[in-house]
Structure 1
Amino acid sequence: MAFPFITAEQRLAEKRRSSGVILGPAGVGKTTLLKTTEAVSALFVDMEDGDLAVRDWPCDTVRPRTWPECRDLACYIGGPNPALRDDQAYSQAHYDQVCAQYGDPALLDKYSLIFVDSISVAGRLCLQWSKGQPQAYSEKTGKPDNRGAYGLHGSELVAWLTQWQHIRSKDVWLVGILDEKLDDFNRKVFSPQIDGAKAALELPGILDQVISMIVLKDDNGTPYRAFVCQHLNPWGYPAKDRSGRLDVVEEPHLGRLIAKITAPRAQQRTGESS
């Protein structure tokens, strides 16, 4: 079989989609962002059982409660990775298994947005599962080995995030808690709230967009919510815009953010010149 080359015309004609993570302090309204999207085409992956803020929003929901369920769902939605062996998660064998369990993947065609709440909870589920695996115990003594557990946790979580990133047919957005700490020089530093260091460090390199949803103040001192979208921002919040289409600060509206990222280039240029 010849390697499938994609011409420039084919690539430019592909429907653009978006993927990213929105980080913010607890209570800032991350889950409520779901209400700024089209309910009929959104799938809400509710890991926190925290749908109180969107209880009146008529979108479909799925509630994974264990790490294997989280992996199965990502495989079912994202499809198989042909580079993996049959004994690995997200392989063709894993995909065949979850399709037999959940049904025809064509059922997912109705969804254009996958909204995952949250990576912080996913990290906790992953660590709990990792601590029960053989890698989490010393081969010599049989006692728990935290290094092995956290090593497995990091590789599992990175593979899970990568599986979401590789979904080309849907917009995929995850949310998570943004931690604020002081470093040794009493300066504020911000990072995703994820158990273990590996996933938090690699997260910005995996997903296309990293957005901080925070509270700023206008010239009169009035607070307002905003998206911080670019790495070079005056507050030091984690952010990245691989699309190159976002301003440093955008309004906290996920639907409009996705539209701005995915708009055809000609259409965006027209809007910029007007």
Structure 2
Amino acid sequence: MNTVTLTIKTQPELYLELEKVNPDTFAGKKADEIAKLPVFQGKEILTLGDFFTVTGEAGATAADTKIVINGDCTKMKYIGAKMTAGEVVVNSACDMYTGSWMKGGKLTVNGDVHSFCGLAMAGGEFTINGNAGNYLGAAYRGDWRGMSGGVLRVKGNAGSDVATFMTGGTLIVEGNVDIHLGTHMEGGTIILKGNANRRVGGQMVKGEIYVYGTINVMMPGYKPVGDIELDVDGTKSKFVDYIGDLGERHPKRKGETVYGHLYMKK
């Protein structure tokens, strides 16, 4: 795998949109070609080379390309967005839309991410070694298609409205979350190692939510149906199994009603 290293030399005055910073766009290009790729700062179109020193060269395909970004990326948006293969490592915190619409490959952020990251993620592996903001793994505003595949892991805490309209994939938060976790969920798996504020699984139709900590206020539409031992994220634990959200319409499979499951660790 060939490596391209981007090192920040000039901080943008406004937030910088880096939709071209992914292995799919870099594939087959040398450093000078990558430096000429367009970036947006407000309404102004500039080049990647105006803000970064570019070294190395990409592989022939996205799968053969690794991108390493060094320097302060807190004003950088869309890093790794829409990537389908390869690897991206960001050695900093970064801004909105990081890893959004991702379909494959591996994205690692060694810091925090802002809100709206991992939107509509469909595949790949996205790891955040810090905290995440609001609407992580959710649907884009006005849309109803949230995360549908892949694995998204946050080593710290996450904000509100995480995994809204989730339909597939696995989202793991090792810390705590704020309100509205898994709202409108229609599939997929959420694993919360810490605590949730309230309104977990509101209007959930299908899918699974595992909570290892506490929920400040449990939604009234959930009914306990028994205890169960499950292997979750490599560890066996005992849970109380709640079905719901009972206030929602639920499909039937082979004559039986399909519910979402909210598992609370005992």
TM bucket normalised to smaller: under 0.3
TM-score w.r.t. length of structure 2: 0.27
Going by fraction, where is strand more abundant, 1 or 2? 2
Provide the TM-score with structure 1 as the length reference.
Answer: 0.27
Higher share of residues assigned helix:
1
